[in-house]
Chains A and B, each alone.
Chain A
């Protein structure tokens, strides 16, 4: 009996200590994919994300003095595994980062019930821009409909699009189909013909049929919503079929240095719209080197760190950190809860001054979120592959959000109606 009492006391003490230690961190799980067919694009992003948060932990003791635990749960980009990871990590999480449009669509209704902010920077379901309907979901700093609009704006700056033909080469997956409503509306408005061409998951490496169709269609431009091995596959096929690279533009997930390096000089002129840009001279890079890389705590390497995707990983973590900081200041507590982070994420003010203060100069355009706008619509730069690396090929482009505001409202309402009962943010008066 004596032993049992001792054991019970020890168990209670251990439980109290464990719960106290658990509370001493901000748990921000990341549904990462470092394995599987899309690992090549996932790894630099995850490394950038991890290195930024590790730098904050090492340099500042975390955010507001509380360490961040950005534990990764491996999904392999599989929607089923992503949902499992969400369920496994949601307990004490203050945010979930689903990392695929497929997973985002699956966990979106769950987060609205579980009241956990869903952070999907630059991906996910585009109507998430409507913060009143999607009060727990964020895709700042820009969504796919912004990307579609900016790409068409850029192409229009090269000449009138009336009577032109544009191929939308896309992964046959929710991600690839996401920009279609806006592209179709723009096609009608601007008078160009839109030809969607899907690429199946098994055809990513061998897109000869798709590029034969492109050859037959003779489009003026090809825009690409590609991911993983699809990007390299498309670029090598474009080179092979002698499609003019300057007329080939990808979304920001189709602008990965390693994919372009496979075609090298042959891919010179290929473009990709992007809301992030790597800047080796930015102070944040020096801080990461000092506090993470030099201490042997980074999984990255010098070449990867100079690429677009690593830099984007940094920005994604910086957006999360800004949401946490905003919430900590507003609620005057360092150990924030998920509902408090929701407030923080819809009150991010990433101004030029703040970007400089964070040491992120030139790496992300300014943007601001509100309770009504969860996307922020930062705009982006058109990047161009110069044969060895991406360089900026345009000034900052901004999406004409008014042009598709009605589609956002319509699709958001459709989603809410289809997922009743759907809690909306009635307190948002903007």
Chain B
């Protein structure tokens, strides 16, 4: 048993380094996508203290809108622009109809409101687009679909061009977001709201504008995530569940930390894949990805309740 836990997995890694590279690559792709979804949660939480339960269904809604618009004969990139327009209208609608009347209400009320948004988008999405599995317009968007086969150490490493594109686009998006948040006035306004709500409002930062903006950014992230995951297995309401994969990332990285979302996502993507392949499948029958990330996050929370990168909350009573 000790051999199976402490020696055999590492011997496997050394014995088949090409396979280890493949596992790490797959983990990296998953991790980048988890980080992206987690960023959507973090941005909204930082600016409004709302845990956005609707992030998952926004991924489905954005992807369905894109595919649906293209099905009407609209060219792919114009469909992308129109989908972004739809996500902007959605952000304005959510701010005006749902969030604005609830300003000042307890956090749990705002959280429940996002559950309402989820149910609304599920119902609306099914009425407008139907529940059938739809094909993502990968080729029409110019996303390469082939693969590159490498032979490190005489072995085999398959890199899907779709996955490479996803990693590049996701990294670019994350970099752009960091640039936006750090170097633009509006980005600093979002961060200011996250740091101190009252102080930010007192210097004239518009809560409404910031909320619309962060929900729109969450919509952009949802669209990119929807395209990336939709290219793998089609676009259907099953995509909604992938948002739950971001929950342990948030627990691990901290709900308020952009760096935490990125590093947490990458850590969970890589570690859950390594654990599943080298320990989960041989020793536990597999499917450990369902729970591994949560257990890892719980262990971190035992020692750092605010997450790895979250801010320590000190309340004076």
Contacts and interface: CB of A to CB of B under 8 A. Distances in A.
Interface string A235-247: 0110011100000
The B interface, classified by DSSP as helix, strand, loop or mixed, is helix
A39 B131 contact: yes
A198 B291 CA distance: 14
A35 B131 contact: yes
Given A209-B289, A229-B234, A259-B234, A40 B126 contact: no
A38 interface: yes
Interface in A159-177: 172
A57 interface: no
Contact of B130 (A43, A172, A196, A206): A43
A204 B131 contact: no
Interface in B236-269: 236-242, 244-245
Contacts of B290: 172, 200-203
Interface residues of B, number: 40
Interface string B79-106: 0000000000000000000000000000
A205 B232 contact: yes
A259 B134 CA distance: 9
Given A39-B132, A199-B287, A262 B233 contact: yes
Contacts of B29: 208
B277 A212 contact: yes
A241 B158 contact: yes
A209 B234 contact: no
Given A208-B30, A232-B234, A240-B160, A37 B133 contact: no
A201 to B, nearest CB: 7
A57 B29 CA distance: 53
A216 B281 CA distance: 11
Nearest to B239: A205
Interface in B268-315: 272-273, 276-277, 281, 285-287, 289-290
A388 to B, nearest CB: 13
B71 to A, nearest CB: 12
B232 A36 contact: no
A40 B26 contact: no
The A interface, classified by DSSP as helix, strand, loop or mixed, is helix
Contact of B236 (A172, A210, A229, A242): A229
B26 A39 contact: no
Contacts of A304: 132
A221 B290 CA distance: 25
A261 interface: yes
Nearest to A211: B26
A212 B244 contact: no
A61 to B, nearest CB: 31
B286 A198 contact: yes
Given A40-B236, A262-B234, A205 B242 contact: yes
A262 B133 contact: yes
Contacts of A44: 132
A261 B29 CA distance: 24
A229 B233 contact: yes
A35 B122 contact: yes
A416 interface: no
Contacts of A236: 232-233
B229 interface: yes
B233 A233 contact: yes
A197 interface: yes
Contacts of A206: 30, 229, 232-233, 242
A172 B290 CA distance: 10
A40 B131 contact: yes
The 8 closest A-B pairs by CB, nearest first: A39-B131, A229-B238, A40-B133, A37-B238, A233-B233, A200-B290, A208-B26, A198-B287
22 contacts: A35-B237, A37-B237, A37-B241, A39-B131, A39-B132, A39-B237, A40-B238, A41-B133, A44-B132, A172-B290, A199-B287, A208-B30, A208-B273, A209-B286, A210-B286, A216-B277, A228-B238, A236-B232, A241-B158, A258-B234, A261-B135, A262-B135
Interface of A: 34-44, 172, 196-206, 208-210, 212-213, 215-216, 228-229, 232-233, 236-237, 240-242, 258-259, 261-262, 304
